[in-house]
């Protein structure tokens, strides 16, 4: 199973999670988001306090070592819990008004000269996902694969801008990828509220309300413009909340990142912004009447 199969938009899961009446599955009683969050944070922190990590050779791909987590036993007097690692960091991620503490182990940021992805970009990664409570893998791609972050779970894309890719990335005609040994890599520990919550992908083995984790190696990222209107998707997050589905300037059924006429004035966005000779968007964006709203978002102009 590939991640692009298993990823779902969390917003739609939460809204649709009140019952599965017509698919023959037993109806799941949706639990309280705050209650699940508290439970998941306890589970994640317990894992971080009782496990250490090791880098082991990866038989499936000798280009990188796998990060594995092992429980500290009584005889492991020299092992450092992940919780005490100098590489462990956390950040606050807000979803539907709830603040989540997203822990991540940043073992290496990546090549300094390589761009960081935004939350709305596409990334070339290898990864393995595991269920925290049983420390058991549910999915992996040992070979580099492209992901549209917008189609991934929030906890996955919210950590990607902590990393950079590697230098020397070449995507070979036979499908393999060559890269230098300076890619970013680490692990992110994700509470279910910003993963699959009550509706894990069927067949994944992930239980409802279960925290999960991903080991990630990042090789490359590219700025993504989903609707091809010349405005990169990260800039189409008008309200700045790092979600793309809730920005809809003209109030039709299409959010800005998929709408080629964002303000609905009949003039395509492409014609209301400017590009240089190489086709790159020129900033600042034109604001002909000087009201602070760029022309492509201003239906009153022209
Ligand atoms: Ca766009
Ligand atoms: Ca937004
Ligand atoms: Ca729209
Ligand atoms: Ca327009």
Mean of the per-residue pLDDT values of the chain: 91
Last residue of a domain, one of 222, 247, 269: 222
In this prediction, residue 62 carries a pLDDT of 81
Indicate the pairing of strand 122-131 with strand 98-108. unpaired
- Between these two residues, 47 and 22, which has the higher pLDDT value? 47
In whole angstroms, how large is the CA radius of gyration of the chain? 21
CA of 96 to the centre of ligand 4 (A): 29
CA of 250 to the centre of ligand 2 (A): 14
Q: How confident is the model over 215-255, as pLDDT tens digits?
A: 999 999 999 999 999 999 999 999 999 999 999 999 999 99
Same domain? 74 vs 187: yes
Q: Is the pLDDT of residue 3 over 70?
A: no
Those residues with Cβ within 8 angstroms of residue 82's Cβ, 6 or more apart along the chain or in another chain: 47, 48, 49, 51, 52, 53, 69, 88, 105
Same domain? 105 vs 170: yes
Same domain? 279 vs 212: no
Mean pLDDT of the region 256-277? 97
Q: What is the pTM of this model?
A: 0.88
The parent domain of residue 281 ranges over 225-302
Q: How confident is the model over 136-146, as pLDDT tens digits?
A: 999 999 899 99
In this prediction, residue 77 carries a pLDDT of 85
Same domain? 84 vs 117: yes
CA of 257 to the centre of ligand 3 (A): 8
Same domain? 113 vs 205: yes
In this prediction, residue 58 carries a pLDDT of 83
**Number of domain units in the chain:** 2
CA of 231 to the centre of ligand 1 (A): 4
Question: Which listed ligand is nearest to 281 at the C-alpha?
Answer: 1
Last residue of a domain, one of 178, 207, 222: 222
Mean pLDDT of the region 55-65? 85
């Amino acid at each position: 199973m590939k991640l692009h199969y298993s990823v779902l938009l969390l917003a739609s899961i939460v809204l649709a999670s009140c019952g599965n009446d017509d698919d023959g599955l037993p109806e799941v009683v949706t639990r309280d988001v705050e209650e699940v969050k508290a439970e998941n944070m306890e589970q994640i922190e317990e894992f971080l306090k009782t496990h250490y990590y090791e880098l082991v050779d990866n038989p499936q791909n000798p280009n990188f070592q796998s990060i594995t987590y092992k429980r500290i036993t009584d005889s492991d007097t020299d092992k450092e819990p992940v919780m005490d690692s100098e590489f462990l960091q956390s950040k606050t991620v807000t979803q539907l008004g709830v603040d989540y503490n997203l822990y991540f182990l940043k073992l290496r940021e990546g090549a300094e000269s390589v761009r960081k992805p935004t939350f709305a970009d596409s990334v070339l990664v290898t990864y393995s996902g595991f269920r925290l409570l049983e420390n058991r893998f549910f999915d992996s791609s040992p070979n580099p694969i492209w992901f549209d972050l917008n189609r991934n779970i929030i906890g996955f894309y919210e950590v990607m801008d902590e990393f950079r890719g590697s230098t020397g990335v070449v995507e070979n005609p036979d499908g393999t990828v060559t890269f230098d040994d300076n890619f970013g890599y680490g692990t992110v520990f994700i509470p279910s509220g910003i993963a699959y919550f009550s509706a894990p992908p069927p067949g994944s083995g992930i239980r409802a309300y279960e925290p999960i984790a991903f080991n990630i190696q990042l090789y490359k990222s590219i700025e993504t413009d989903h609707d091809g209107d010349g405005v990169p998707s990260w800039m189409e997050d008008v309200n700045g909340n790092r979600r793309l589905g809730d920005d809809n300037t003209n109030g039709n059924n299409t959010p800005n990142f998929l709408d080629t006429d964002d303000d609905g004035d009949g003039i395509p966005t492409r014609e209301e912004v400017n590009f240089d000779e190489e086709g790159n968007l020129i900033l600042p964006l034109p604001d002909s009447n000087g009201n602070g709203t760029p022309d492509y978002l201003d239906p009153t102009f022209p």
